[in-house]
Amino acid sequence: MVAKNHSMPEPSGWGGENTKPQAEAWGIRQSQTSNLHSIWPRLLSLIDRDVARTLDRALAGEDVTVEEATRLFDAEGLELNALVIVADELRRRSVGDVVTYILNRNINFTNVCIKHCGFCAFSRDHREEEGYFLPIEEVVRRAREAWDLGATEVCIQAGLPPKMDGYFYVDLTRAIKKELPDIHIHGFSPEEVLYGSVRARCSIEEYLRALKDAGVGSLPGTSAEILDDEVRNLISPGRITTAQWVEVITTAHRLGIPTTSTIMYGHVENSRHKAAHIALLRDLQRQTGGFTEFVPLSFIFEEAPMYKKGFVADVRTGATGAEVVKMYAVSRIMLNSWIPNLQVSWVKEGPKLAQVCLNVGCNDFMGTLINESISTAAGAAYGQRLKPREMRRLIRDIGRVPAERTTTYEIRRLFSRNEDDHHDPLDLVDEEGEEGFGSYHQLIHRQDYRFKDQFQLRVTPEPSRK
């Protein structure tokens, strides 16, 4: 729990009895520091009283309500500035100045999916020419390539291919762990776990036990979008329900499988939807303690069917810059005592805005990824890999301390604030070598991975109809 402090934070050395000696050391006149000191009461006087009271409670370590968070999501002007200051102060108290990242690789082994979510530009019907499927040996090869480049994690997520053998995810996990017993498999969203259990005709708990026994180390808490069924039915009818998502997550936590938590925003949701979503995650964390981090994901609209084809009315063109800032700030304020790790997505926001958001409550810079297909398919313009050395440069540039972490936030390597001579193998891969990783757009045109030509998963017999 954060320490109690019932006033707005003042920048270190501004105001108070230490003002004069610090000012003299900096070559600043006392009158100048007095001006800086006097601005805080003036700013506070201009902020809405309810907002100021909410921020004060957050600084005291208290949980803000959904109603209070809704008001924070609507903050503008000086209130937004105050929101950012408080969020960054809470970050500093909770996790300090270290910014973590992970060396990992995404492997989206198929884009063929039985669902047709309005926000997803990644999925294809099984009859389409652009539908692809990576065989198990290719997934293992990609995992091995990532491991040899220093990655400690592979993130396995994909579409839901029709008539899939229910235990395919288990078999895939076993194959990766047989080749690479020490790699962490961060795999299979709640939607995939539910689908696997349905195809295998077993309970969610039985399926999660099978995944854990095969070697899954953690689950991505994706397929959450907005945890409100009215919104879900609008943007993704037929997708996993809020109750089902909660069941998968809480069962995983009970079995000792940690998960991330996410939100996708910037489409049709409102401020209350966002606040209620985060409050639900907070309540779940109180019960289980199984979330490793919270990952806000802004909606990429350009190729999303519900925007491009007009399937859903009044879809926004993603989150604005101010909305992104408020999402990270409010998330820190709501979750600081419960989920201390807040991850910024450089894939969604770009490295520059992601860097800025490290001063808005964030303390994790995501991962190297190596491949990224889902955001890229939707129109994200920031590439699909970021080298560790570039991450460290961006982190140091704002005066923070870079550190490489594991999936569960154990520090593998802590770097200094100053430049270093360290190079990971991935840093040394040139442009020609990066071409060898392939891209989503190359993948959907490869004949040898075309789904309809080479789909060879074991097919679970369909249940008999009486």
Q: Which of 93, 127, 147 is the last residue of a domain?
A: 93
Asked whether residue 55 falls in the same domain as residue 164, the answer is no
- Three-class secondary structure of residue 96 per DSSP: coil
Contacts of 215 (CB under 8 A, 6+ apart): 173, 174, 176, 177, 185
CATH number of residue 208's parent domain: 3.20.20.70
**Same domain for 102 and 79?**
no
The residues with which 411 forms a beta bridge, in sequence order, are: 405
Q: What is the DSSP string of 392-404?
A: HHHHHHTT-EEEE
What is the number of domains present in the chain? 2
Average pLDDT over residues 221-231: 97
CA 69 to chain centre: 20
Band (186; pLDDT cuts 50, 70, 90): very high
Task: Identify whether 13 is part of a domain.
Answer: no
- HEC sequence for 321-366: HHHHHHHHHHHHHHHCCCCCCEECCHHHHHHHHHHHHCCCCCCEEE
Q: What confidence score (pLDDT) does residue 29 get?
A: 55
Output 275 or 437, whichever has higher pLDDT: 275
338 and 430 in one domain?
yes
Same domain for 37 and 145, yes or no, is no
Is residue 229 included in any domain, yes or no?
yes
Domain shared by 302 and 404, yes or no: yes
Q: Does the pLDDT at position 382 exceed 80? A: no
User: Is 117 inside a domain boundary?
Assistant: yes
- Say if residue 318 is in the same domain as residue 401: yes
- The verdict on 186 and 235 lying in the same domain is yes
Q: Is residue 36 part of a domain?
A: yes
CB atoms within 10 A of CB 387: 18
Residue 323's domain spans which residues? 98-454
One domain for residues 280 and 364:
yes
Task: Provide the pLDDT for residue 191.
Answer: 98
For residue 155, is it within any domain? Answer: yes
50, 72, 93 - which closes a domain: 93
Smallest CA-to-CA distance from 379 within 436, 325, 318 is with: 318
CA distances from 149 to 361, 366, 369, 433 (A): 31, 17, 12, 12
Angle, helix 321-335 to helix 271-288, in steps of 10 degrees: 30
Last residue of a domain, one of 93, 119, 140: 93
- Identify whether residues 46 and 125 lie together within a single domain: no
Q: Are residues 80 and 146 in the same domain?
A: no
User: Considering the chain, what percentage of its residues have pLDDT values greater than 90?
Assistant: 71
What average pLDDT does the chain have? 88
Averaged pLDDT, 209-229 = 98
Tens of pLDDT, residue by residue over 45-75, are: 889 999 999 999 999 999 999 999 999 999 9
- Judge whether 255 lies within some domain: yes
Pairing mode, if any, of strands 411-414 and 401-405?
A: antiparallel
For residue 8, is it within any domain?
Answer: no
Q: Judge if pTM exceeds 0.75.
A: yes
Q: Are residues 300 and 364 in the same domain?
A: yes
CA–CA separation, 131 vs 112, rounded Å? 5
Range scoring the smallest mean pLDDT among 190-194, 253-257, 450-454? 450-454
User: How far apart, in whole angstroms, are the C-alpha atoms of residue 167 and residue 173?
Assistant: 10
Dihedral, 206, 185, 91, 277 alpha carbons, nearest 10: -40
pLDDT band of 5, cuts 50, 70, 90: very low
Q: Are residues 384 and 407 in the same domain?
A: yes
Kindly provide the residue ranges of all beta strands, DSSP E only, lying in 6-77, ordered along the sequence: none
**pLDDT band at residue 462 under the 50/70/90 scheme:** low
Residue 460 maps to a domain: no
